[in-house]
Amino acid sequence: MISVGQPAPNFTLFDSAKNPINLHDFTGKKVVLLFYPLAFTSVCTKELCYVRDNISLFNNVDAQVLGISVDSLYTLAKFKEEQGLNFPLLSDFNKEVSSLYNALYEEFSFNMKGVSKRASFVIDRQGIVRYAQVLEKASDFPDFEAIQSTLATID
Protein backbone atom coordinates (compact mmCIF):
# COMPACT_ATOMS: atom_id res chain seq x y z
CA MET A 1 0.00 0.00 0.00
CA ILE A 2 1.31 3.44 -0.92
CA SER A 3 0.86 5.87 1.97
CA VAL A 4 1.00 9.63 2.25
CA GLY A 5 4.43 10.71 3.44
CA GLN A 6 6.42 7.92 1.83
CA PRO A 7 8.67 8.28 -1.23
CA ALA A 8 6.83 7.51 -4.44
CA PRO A 9 8.17 4.29 -5.99
CA ASN A 10 10.17 5.13 -9.09
CA PHE A 11 9.37 3.55 -12.44
CA THR A 12 10.02 3.81 -16.14
CA LEU A 13 7.19 3.29 -18.63
CA PHE A 14 6.81 4.10 -22.31
CA ASP A 15 4.40 6.81 -23.39
CA SER A 16 2.09 6.64 -26.40
CA ALA A 17 4.85 8.16 -28.57
CA LYS A 18 7.20 5.31 -27.52
CA ASN A 19 9.39 7.50 -25.31
CA PRO A 20 10.66 6.12 -21.98
CA ILE A 21 9.31 8.20 -19.08
CA ASN A 22 10.91 7.87 -15.66
CA LEU A 23 9.18 9.29 -12.59
CA HIS A 24 12.51 10.74 -11.39
CA ASP A 25 12.57 12.84 -14.59
CA PHE A 26 10.03 15.04 -12.84
CA THR A 27 11.98 15.70 -9.63
CA GLY A 28 11.48 19.38 -8.84
CA LYS A 29 7.95 19.34 -10.27
CA LYS A 30 4.63 18.26 -8.78
CA VAL A 31 3.25 15.08 -10.37
CA VAL A 32 -0.27 13.69 -10.54
CA LEU A 33 -0.43 9.99 -11.38
CA LEU A 34 -3.83 8.88 -12.66
CA PHE A 35 -4.21 5.12 -13.01
CA TYR A 36 -7.31 4.12 -14.99
CA PRO A 37 -8.73 0.76 -16.12
CA LEU A 38 -9.06 0.91 -19.89
CA ALA A 39 -8.87 3.41 -22.73
CA PHE A 40 -12.11 4.09 -24.64
CA THR A 41 -14.38 3.10 -21.73
CA SER A 42 -16.96 5.63 -20.55
CA VAL A 43 -15.69 6.61 -17.09
CA CYS A 44 -12.03 6.57 -18.18
CA THR A 45 -12.84 8.80 -21.13
CA LYS A 46 -14.82 11.15 -18.87
CA GLU A 47 -11.94 11.28 -16.35
CA LEU A 48 -9.19 11.97 -18.87
CA CYS A 49 -11.29 14.47 -20.83
CA TYR A 50 -11.95 16.30 -17.54
CA VAL A 51 -8.18 16.63 -17.13
CA ARG A 52 -7.79 17.70 -20.78
CA ASP A 53 -10.45 20.38 -20.39
CA ASN A 54 -9.00 21.59 -17.09
CA ILE A 55 -5.28 21.18 -17.80
CA SER A 56 -4.69 24.81 -16.82
CA LEU A 57 -5.58 23.90 -13.22
CA PHE A 58 -2.58 21.57 -13.23
CA ASN A 59 -0.26 23.72 -15.35
CA ASN A 60 -0.90 26.79 -13.19
CA VAL A 61 0.48 24.99 -10.12
CA ASP A 62 3.44 23.45 -11.98
CA ALA A 63 2.00 19.93 -11.91
CA GLN A 64 2.61 17.25 -14.53
CA VAL A 65 -0.26 14.82 -15.09
CA LEU A 66 0.60 11.28 -16.17
CA GLY A 67 -2.16 8.84 -17.15
CA ILE A 68 -1.32 5.15 -16.63
CA SER A 69 -3.18 2.05 -17.82
CA VAL A 70 -2.37 -1.49 -18.88
CA ASP A 71 -3.36 -0.69 -22.47
CA SER A 72 -0.76 -1.10 -25.22
CA LEU A 73 1.21 1.85 -26.59
CA TYR A 74 -0.81 1.62 -29.80
CA THR A 75 -4.17 1.72 -28.04
CA LEU A 76 -3.02 4.69 -25.95
CA ALA A 77 -1.77 6.55 -29.03
CA LYS A 78 -5.17 6.14 -30.74
CA PHE A 79 -7.06 7.10 -27.55
CA LYS A 80 -4.89 10.19 -27.03
CA GLU A 81 -5.33 11.26 -30.64
CA GLU A 82 -9.11 10.69 -30.78
CA GLN A 83 -9.71 12.49 -27.46
CA GLY A 84 -7.17 15.28 -28.04
CA LEU A 85 -5.49 14.54 -24.69
CA ASN A 86 -2.80 17.06 -23.77
CA PHE A 87 -0.72 15.08 -21.27
CA PRO A 88 1.26 11.82 -21.48
CA LEU A 89 -0.39 8.42 -21.38
CA LEU A 90 1.90 5.66 -20.15
CA SER A 91 1.57 1.96 -20.91
CA ASP A 92 1.89 -0.37 -17.94
CA PHE A 93 1.27 -3.34 -20.20
CA ASN A 94 3.31 -5.63 -17.93
CA LYS A 95 1.28 -4.47 -14.91
CA GLU A 96 4.41 -3.84 -12.81
CA VAL A 97 3.73 -0.21 -11.87
CA SER A 98 0.02 -0.71 -11.20
CA SER A 99 0.99 -3.58 -8.94
CA LEU A 100 3.73 -1.50 -7.27
CA TYR A 101 1.18 1.22 -6.46
CA ASN A 102 -1.39 -1.36 -5.28
CA ALA A 103 -3.69 -0.22 -8.08
CA LEU A 104 -4.37 -3.48 -9.90
CA TYR A 105 -7.52 -5.58 -10.08
CA GLU A 106 -6.73 -9.26 -9.99
CA GLU A 107 -10.00 -9.82 -11.81
CA PHE A 108 -12.01 -7.22 -13.70
CA SER A 109 -15.14 -7.31 -15.85
CA PHE A 110 -15.56 -10.02 -18.47
CA ASN A 111 -12.93 -12.22 -16.76
CA MET A 112 -10.10 -9.81 -17.62
CA LYS A 113 -7.16 -10.26 -15.27
CA GLY A 114 -4.74 -7.53 -14.22
CA VAL A 115 -6.44 -4.25 -15.11
CA SER A 116 -5.42 -0.99 -13.42
CA LYS A 117 -7.73 0.30 -10.71
CA ARG A 118 -8.83 3.91 -10.86
CA ALA A 119 -6.31 5.55 -8.54
CA SER A 120 -4.69 8.94 -8.09
CA PHE A 121 -1.50 10.02 -6.40
CA VAL A 122 -0.05 13.49 -5.91
CA ILE A 123 3.72 13.56 -5.58
CA ASP A 124 5.60 16.63 -4.38
CA ARG A 125 8.76 18.15 -5.86
CA GLN A 126 10.98 15.90 -3.72
CA GLY A 127 9.18 12.70 -4.76
CA ILE A 128 7.07 12.26 -1.61
CA VAL A 129 3.45 11.06 -1.90
CA ARG A 130 1.14 13.82 -0.59
CA TYR A 131 -2.20 12.32 -1.67
CA ALA A 132 -3.26 8.75 -2.42
CA GLN A 133 -6.66 7.41 -3.45
CA VAL A 134 -7.25 3.91 -4.80
CA LEU A 135 -10.87 3.29 -5.74
CA GLU A 136 -12.30 -0.22 -5.61
CA LYS A 137 -15.21 0.55 -7.96
CA ALA A 138 -14.15 1.38 -11.50
CA SER A 139 -17.33 3.45 -11.90
CA ASP A 140 -16.22 5.90 -9.18
CA PHE A 141 -14.63 9.19 -10.22
CA PRO A 142 -11.40 10.55 -8.71
CA ASP A 143 -11.74 13.33 -6.15
CA PHE A 144 -10.30 16.14 -8.26
CA GLU A 145 -11.14 18.72 -5.58
CA ALA A 146 -8.92 16.85 -3.10
CA ILE A 147 -6.20 16.54 -5.76
CA GLN A 148 -6.32 20.30 -6.46
CA SER A 149 -6.41 21.09 -2.74
CA THR A 150 -3.34 18.94 -2.16
CA LEU A 151 -1.49 20.50 -5.10
CA ALA A 152 -2.22 23.96 -3.63
CA THR A 153 -0.52 23.02 -0.35
CA ILE A 154 2.76 22.03 -2.01
CA ASP A 155 5.30 24.84 -2.41
CA–CA dist 85, 140 (Å, integer): 21
Catalytic one of 33, 38, 44, 129? 44
For 45, 61, 64, 137, the CA distances from 82, given in Å and listed in that order, are 11, 27, 21, 26
**43, containing H or E segment:** helix 42-53
What is the rounded distance in angstroms from the CA atom of residue 31 to the CA atom of residue 39?
21
44 is catalytic: yes
DSSP track, 47-101:
HHHHHHHTHHHHHTTTEEEEEEESS-HHHHHHHHHHHT--S-EEE-TT-HHHHHT
Going by their DSSP bridges, the two strands 30-35 and 119-123 should be labelled as: antiparallel
What is the Cα–Cα distance from 131 to 122, expressed in whole angstroms?
5
Question: Which sequence positions are flagged as catalytic?
Answer: 44
